[in-house]
Amino acid sequence: MKLEPILEELEAAAGKLGVKVTYESLGDSVAGGGLCKVKGEYRVIIEKRGTTGEKVVTLAKALAQLDTEGIFLSPGARDLLRGHG
């Protein structure tokens, strides 16, 4: 499975949910990033030096915590969210 299209799909889904996705250098203190709430708005911060697979997993874990039922996701992306929910 190619991961770049899945990552783009998950980023688009986050946008539809109003969740800002950013890629930052997190250092060794945070394991890959995750979902947080800043000033009442959800954000997903992802380690920019991670592999595409690591970025997909981090974003899937974050989105699995939110209600994505109203968002169209391909079967592969939906399975990823279920696997991390």
Per the domain annotation, does 83 fall within a domain? no
Reading the chain (85 residues) residue by residue, the pLDDT tens digits are 689 999 999 999 999 999 999 999 887 766 779 999 999 999 999 999 999 999 999 999 999 999 999 999 999 999 999 988 7
Task: Report the amino acid identity of residue 58.
Answer: T
According to DSSP, the residues that pair with 45 across neighbouring strands are 22, 34
Per the domain annotation, does 85 fall within a domain? no
pLDDT of residue 29: 65
Element (H, E) at 36: strand 33-38
Per the structure, the complete domain to which residue 52 belongs is given by 3-70
Per the domain annotation, does 64 fall within a domain? yes
Per the domain annotation, does 84 fall within a domain? no
Q: Could you tell me the CATH number of the domain that includes residue 10?
A: 3.30.2010
Per the domain annotation, does 62 fall within a domain? yes
pLDDT of residue 48: 92
| Model confidence, pTM | 0.91
Per the domain annotation, does 24 fall within a domain? yes
The domain tally of the chain equals: 1
Per the domain annotation, does 11 fall within a domain? yes
Task: Report the amino acid identity of residue 59.
Answer: L
Element (H, E) at 57: helix 52-63
Per the domain annotation, does 12 fall within a domain? yes
